[in-house]
Amino acid sequence: QVHLQESGPGLVKPSETLSLTCTVSGGSISSYYWTWIRQPPGKGLEWLGYIYYSGSTNYNPSLETRVTISVDTSKNQFSLKLNSVTAADTAVYFCARVFTDNGDYRWFDPWGQGTLVTVSS
Amino acid sequence: DIVMTQSPDSLAVSLGERATINCKSSRSVLFNSKNKNYLAWYQQKTGQPPKLLIYWASTRESGVPDRFSGSGSGTDFTLTISSLQAEDVAVYYCQQYYITPPTFGQGTNVEIK
């Protein structure tokens, strides 16, 4: 059974870059799409972007200028970078696998446990 | 973007009673040629990640109890818990995957009355 685990700093200073990694275990990262989703404290869910194991990406237009998602198939990991962060980027960040259907994105399953990143000086 | 709006924001239901959550999309998520609604439901318990319950608006994920059911088409959808159990206390989210970016409803908090 595939398991995802997020890792990275829990505190980032304003204007700096948030960096997180998602490690996939129990299965290969290959042949799947993967995603990052965030949830500000007490609020709803916001999709950040997709990545295919080949490295192709698709980002949320609302964050496209600040977000980069990459993949390292040798480590069975994919990563998120969000630059120029502000307090509004404080959230629990989840990684998840994307179910696809003929190359079209569908639902998210499974999800990692999530990691809280606080933006504060 | 497709805006997903859930109602109510919160509801309290007695154990064993029915809980009904509504989700409305700002445009249809029915793909006519496939006759499929591109909508999923998730359950999020406190301190946990969301868990997939239902996809294609009405297909229950493997292992999900049959007291959970999804219905609706086009722009109006419903998640029903037929007989609320204590372990069903959670926030429930709908999500459309008809177009990118995928978007979620704001969530409905279900608690025990």
| Span A21-27, average pLDDT | 97
pLDDT > 90? residue A72: yes
| Span B27-33, average pLDDT | 94
Strands A33-39 and A91-101: antiparallel
CA distance A86 to chain B (A): 22
Q: Find the CB nearest A113 among B49, B101, B102.
A: B49
pLDDT category of residue B88 using cuts at 50, 70 and 90: very high
Alpha-carbon distance of B89 to B45, in angstroms, equals: 7
pLDDT category of residue B34 using cuts at 50, 70 and 90: confident
What does the pLDDT read at residue B81? 98
Q: How many helices (H) and strands (E) does chain B have?
A: 0, 13
Q: Find the CB nearest B100 among A94, A105, A108.
A: A105
For residue B37 the two structure tokens come to 């609604």
pLDDT > 90? residue A104: no
* CA distances to A32, A96, B17, B73 from B79, in Å: 28, 23, 14, 12
Closest-CA residue of chain B to A6: B49
Decide if A75 contacts A3 (C-beta within 8 A): no
